Chains A and B, each alone.
Chain A
């Protein structure tokens, strides 16, 4: 038997440890938690929060695919999210009846547009320095927002498009009772979205572990070297961008299925981009699970911030400046963002992984 390459040995070890050990059970527990949320916390606010966490964690993971695994910073990610949302909204709300066929068509058209735009953008801006990609995507994303707002005949302008749920996803549709909760259309939508998100996440993980994913990490670590070894970095970067943006589009389409409306501010706006960046940095660049950690952290913080303000107000009643500061929680998040980038660049999951690896190394070294 021929000698195995180090990569093959590494992959074999990984495959053996895949389904055992603490991390696997943690991931399984997380999945169980998401499945159980509609039964454990049936209030709409909690289910909504859980769904936002699910969608945003996959969105952040797809952004991390570009940023942490290929080293490309793209400000246009939310634009693709918006393209998916608008396509489905337009086909099932504005220009067609709400049917399954139109839903499927909406997905297809969204994917088509995304591929076109992603190919165009990457073709134009990857030929120059990587920083140009960030600037170009920022400009094009801003233009997309303006287009969505100004071309109100076509896209519904600032008010956006409302869609009504239909078929199995209709709110009034009911499958009967199960474990004491009514299985209505909303729950079915929740599980549908959860299932697709899990599939997308597993797809991304498979993508990372594949040889293609390894080349991408090589490009991130040392692009001139990857090019010198013989990989056409341009093609690989283009593939990675298209893949990441495709996932963002599908997520946008799913998001609009849940919320029922799509307007420039809720699916295309800059605040969402800032949120995604924040989640990526806090969760950890270069780790897919960082997406889940970052999304959970930021979204839960947003939900409990009003309560924090009340606590701050009651603790420090006479200092209005502090009130002003707490109200401007974007300021606090911005400062947190800078601090995390400076001192904590690996984020939550990254630091945990590094800590665990370091302990393993010291254990081995200590044993010697």
Chain B
């Protein structure tokens, strides 16, 4: 009897439990802190979504595990760092327009660098190891080491301070609730990116081909499309998203250092395991869960913040090993 009940209401029940869990911290803190933390958590979630979505789509379409994603993420952050250095005047100006212009240039720079690295990686490293997960992991791991060393050569092996555009700093005071500005910007950016991805995937012809490729790559090839070109394109776009994610996180934490890729790569893996490999909505939901959980727990029990995410990952692995969403959604 319990089984049929669970089968019928299982999905709604789990969603209800989730919502309850996320309202739990309200008991430990005031409403205003809760709101601030929620916004910070959503912002962190959006940044993780950017890096995790690339990983997820690359696996969903090409069946390739990309361990070099973190290094590409770091490259994007450094590209943004250089852009901000070059456009120092715009960054320091107290004008929304100029700051946004600088931000857009940085995003473009990060995306461009990401695309270039993605194409190079795919053509010269990943192409030779299609089909064997083990070798993909090994080779992309080596590629990430090489990429990080290149960062150390081109820029410097030390930590660098990342400039933050002037109007992005600070906060708004809305009804006595402190809302930081930058997280809101990030949330909007993340939602826009998610919207763009879903539109491209669902409404354009290229998107249709990619979705078909996720389901059956051979058939798409048989239909006459150059699947390898599509692979390269998707890989490059995924890496570009990671680069964008790197840019946003570096502005958030105000620093860039060569090894930042490794730490966030682990978060991206946790997000992808929770959300499901191959699903963009899954990455969004997983990233939000991870971001929110991290921020709530970091406030209440600081040292367990990283651990709680591992706990969530463990729970998901136990009850639904393939992740929350199926591939391709």
User: Measuring CB to CB, which residues of chain A are less than 8 angstroms from any residue of chain B?
Assistant: 67, 71, 73, 124-125, 127-132, 134-136, 138-140, 142-143, 146-147, 150-151, 270, 274, 277, 281, 324-325, 328, 330-331, 333-335, 337-338, 341-342, 345
Give the CA-CA distance A73 to B266 in the complex, in Å.
Answer: 16
Give the CA-CA distance A67 to B263 in the complex, in Å.
Answer: 24
Say yes or no: A73-B134 contact (C-beta < 8 A), given A328-B153, A342-B139. yes
B10 at the interface (CB under 8 A from A): no
B138 at the interface (CB under 8 A from A): yes
- Which residues on the B side are within 8 Å of A130 (C-beta)? 133-134
Say yes or no: A334-B145 contact (C-beta < 8 A), given A124-B318, A136-B273, A142-B266. yes
Q: Are B65 and A131 in contact (CB under 8 A)?
A: yes
Nearest first, the 10 closest Cβ-Cβ pairs linking A and B are A331-B149, A334-B145, A334-B146, A337-B142, A128-B321, A135-B269, A338-B142, A131-B133, A328-B149, A139-B266
Q: Are A132 and B317 in contact (CB under 8 A)?
A: yes
- Which residues on the B side are within 8 Å of A71 (C-beta)? 134
Shortest CB-to-CB span from A2 to chain B, Å, is 40
Of B143, B146, B152, B318, the most chain A CB neighbours within 10 A belong to B146
Q: Taking CB as reference atom, which chain A residue is nearest B321?
A: A128
1/0 contact string of B259-283 vs chain A (CB within 8 Å): 0001100100110110000000000
Give the CA-CA distance A328 to B71 in the complex, in Å.
Answer: 16
Interface residues of B in 310-328 (CB under 8 A from A): 310, 313-314, 317-318, 321-322
Q: Are B146 and A150 in contact (CB under 8 A)?
A: no
User: What is the size category of the interface that chain B forms with chain A?
Assistant: 35 or more
Interface residues of B in 111-131 (CB under 8 A from A): 125, 128-129
- Which residues on the B side are within 8 Å of A131 (C-beta)? 65, 133, 137
Q: Are B138 and A335 in contact (CB under 8 A)?
A: no
Q: Are B142 and A128 in contact (CB under 8 A)?
A: no
Give the CA-CA distance A200 to B324 in the complex, in Å.
Answer: 43
Give the CA-CA distance A131 to B59 in the complex, in Å.
Answer: 11
Shortest CB-to-CB span from B253 to chain A, Å, is 16
- Which residues on the B side are within 8 Å of A328 (C-beta)? 149, 152-153
Q: Are B313 and A281 in contact (CB under 8 A)?
A: no
Q: Of B139, B152, B273, B318, which is within 8 A of A341 by CB?
A: B139
B135 at the interface (CB under 8 A from A): yes
Q: Are B149 and A128 in contact (CB under 8 A)?
A: no
Q: Are A338 and B153 in contact (CB under 8 A)?
A: no
Interface residues of B in 291-329 (CB under 8 A from A): 303, 306-307, 310, 313-314, 317-318, 321-322
Say yes or no: A331-B317 contact (C-beta < 8 A), given A131-B133, A338-B143. no
User: Measuring CB to CB, which residues of chain B are less than 8 angstroms from any residue of chain A?
Assistant: 65, 125, 128-129, 133-135, 137-139, 141-143, 145-146, 149-150, 152-153, 262-263, 266, 269-270, 272-273, 303, 306-307, 310, 313-314, 317-318, 321-322
**Sample of 25 A–B contacts (CB below 8 Å):** A73-B134, A127-B321, A128-B321, A129-B133, A131-B133, A132-B273, A135-B272, A138-B266, A139-B266, A142-B263, A143-B306, A143-B307, A143-B310, A146-B306, A150-B303, A277-B141, A324-B153, A328-B153, A331-B146, A331-B150, A331-B153, A334-B143, A334-B149, A337-B142, A342-B139
Say yes or no: A330-B269 contact (C-beta < 8 A), given A136-B313, A143-B307, A341-B135. no
Q: Are B269 and A139 in contact (CB under 8 A)?
A: yes
Give the CA-CA distance A128 to B318 in the complex, in Å.
Answer: 10
Shortest CB-to-CB span from A233 to chain B, Å, is 16
Give the CA-CA distance A216 to B84 in the complex, in Å.
Answer: 54
Q: Are A139 and B313 in contact (CB under 8 A)?
A: yes
Give the CA-CA distance A337 to B67 in the complex, in Å.
Answer: 14
Knowing that A128-B317, A337-B142 are A-B contacts, what are 15 other residue pairs whose CB atoms are under 8 Å apart, sorted by A's residue number?
Answer: A127-B321, A130-B134, A135-B272, A135-B273, A143-B306, A146-B306, A281-B138, A328-B153, A331-B145, A331-B146, A331-B149, A331-B153, A338-B142, A341-B139, A342-B129
- Which residues on the B side are within 8 Å of A138 (C-beta)? 266, 269
Give the CA-CA distance A67 to B322 in the complex, in Å.
Answer: 24
Give the CA-CA distance A71 to B262 in the complex, in Å.
Answer: 24
Q: Are B142 and A270 in contact (CB under 8 A)?
A: no
Give the CA-CA distance A152 to B142 in the complex, in Å.
Answer: 32
Q: Are B273 and A330 in contact (CB under 8 A)?
A: no
- Which residues on the A side are within 8 Å of B317 (C-beta)? 124-125, 127-128, 132, 136
- Which residues on the A side are within 8 Å of B138 (C-beta)? 73, 277, 281, 337, 341
Q: Are B128 and A342 in contact (CB under 8 A)?
A: yes
Give the CA-CA distance A135 to B272 in the complex, in Å.
Answer: 10
Q: Taking CB as reference atom, which chain B residue is nearest A324?
A: B153
Give the CA-CA distance A325 to B149 in the complex, in Å.
Answer: 9
Give the CA-CA distance A325 to B314 in the complex, in Å.
Answer: 42
Shortest CB-to-CB span from A356 to chain B, Å, is 25
Give the CA-CA distance A270 to B259 in the complex, in Å.
Answer: 11
- Which residues on the B side are within 8 Å of A139 (C-beta)? 266, 269-270, 310, 313
Q: Are B145 and A274 in contact (CB under 8 A)?
A: yes
Shortest CB-to-CB span from B297 to chain A, Å, is 14
Q: Are B65 and A330 in contact (CB under 8 A)?
A: no
- Which residues on the B side are within 8 Å of A330 (C-beta)? 145, 149
Q: Taking CB as reference atom, which chain B residue is nearest A329?
A: B149
- Which residues on the A side are within 8 Å of B145 (C-beta)? 274, 330-331, 333-334, 337
Q: Taking CB as reference atom, which chain B residue is nearest A278?
A: B142
- Which residues on the A side are within 8 Å of B152 (C-beta)? 328
Q: Taking CB as reference atom, which chain A residue is nearest B135?
A: A341
Give the CA-CA distance A146 to B65 in the complex, in Å.
Answer: 25
Of B141, B273, B322, the most chain A CB neighbours within 10 A belong to B141
Give the CA-CA distance A69 to B64 in the complex, in Å.
Answer: 23
Q: Are A335 and B146 in contact (CB under 8 A)?
A: yes
Q: Taking CB as reference atom, which chain A residue is nearest B125?
A: A338
- Which residues on the A side are within 8 Å of B133 (C-beta)? 129-131
Q: Taking CB as reference atom, which chain A residue is nearest B303?
A: A150
